[in-house]
Amino acid sequence: MADLDTSSSGGGKHKGGKVRGKKLSTRIDMTPMVDLAFLLVTFFMLATSLSKPAAMPVTMPDTKQDGTPPNLAAKSKVLTLILGKDDKIFYYRKSLEDNPEVGETTFGEANIRKVLLEKKEEITNDVVATLDRQDPIILVKPMRDSKYKNLVDVFDEFNITDLKRFVMVPVDEKDIEYLNSKGLLK
């Protein structure tokens, strides 16, 4: 609402002989606009849906009715990732008893994603794997020096490469000894 201030200002007929009009000043009442602003803020706060945390679905292993554990996986389907410090990932196929070749990589499309896609391709082309599920089984073993961000990044890579069978297990002393014998841990 606008009010007009009609306070006395200017001369009259008594002084100087000139007739002047009164100076009118405008004053705007801001109260309704502040009320409207608070109503709009309240409306948008109540009407907006906050972002919900996105959870990655985790496939749990099947258990039989009598409580026996499921069958062990074929060694040819297993890929082990060991998360080290400085964003390094050590990986090997099969198990340590087979004296596997250990590779070292980092995060990114040309690095760990390439390794995951190669393993997925290898399992898809394997004749024995076609009788069973065609997904590789990924063992993720974070070391004490690794960062939580690295674990999340690896799980994101699983989601990107559409790998459904993975498990996080603690790193064994055998793994650390094997990496030390290959000269990879410094």
* Residue 46 counted as domain residue: no
Domains in the chain: how many in total?
Answer: 1
176: domain CATH number?
Answer: 3.30.420
Q: With respect to residue 18, please indicate whether it lies within any of the assigned structural domains.
A: no
134-169 confidence digits (pLDDT tens): 678 888 999 888 888 988 888 888 888 888 888 888
Residue 25 belongs to a domain? no
Q: Indicate whether 34 pLDDT > 70.
A: yes
Q: What is the pTM of this model?
A: 0.59
Task: Decide if 146 is inside a domain.
Answer: yes
Q: Is residue 123 part of a domain?
A: yes
Question: Strands 103-105, 137-142: parallel, antiparallel or unpaired by DSSP?
Answer: unpaired
Q: Which residues contact 169 (CB under 8 A, 6 or more apart)?
A: 139, 140, 141
What percent of the chain is modeled with pLDDT above 90? 6
Does residue 172 sit within a domain? yes
Identify the residue whose tokens are 């109260």.
31
Point out the least confidently predicted range of 8-12, 105-109, 143-147.
Answer: 8-12
State the residue range of the domain holding 170: 75-181
Q: pLDDT digits over 55-66, tens only?
A: 766 655 555 666
Q: What pLDDT does 129 receive?
A: 46
Asked if residue 32 is part of any domain, the answer here is no
- Bridge pairing between strands 2-5 and 25-28: antiparallel
Q: Answer whether residue 166 is part of any domain.
A: yes
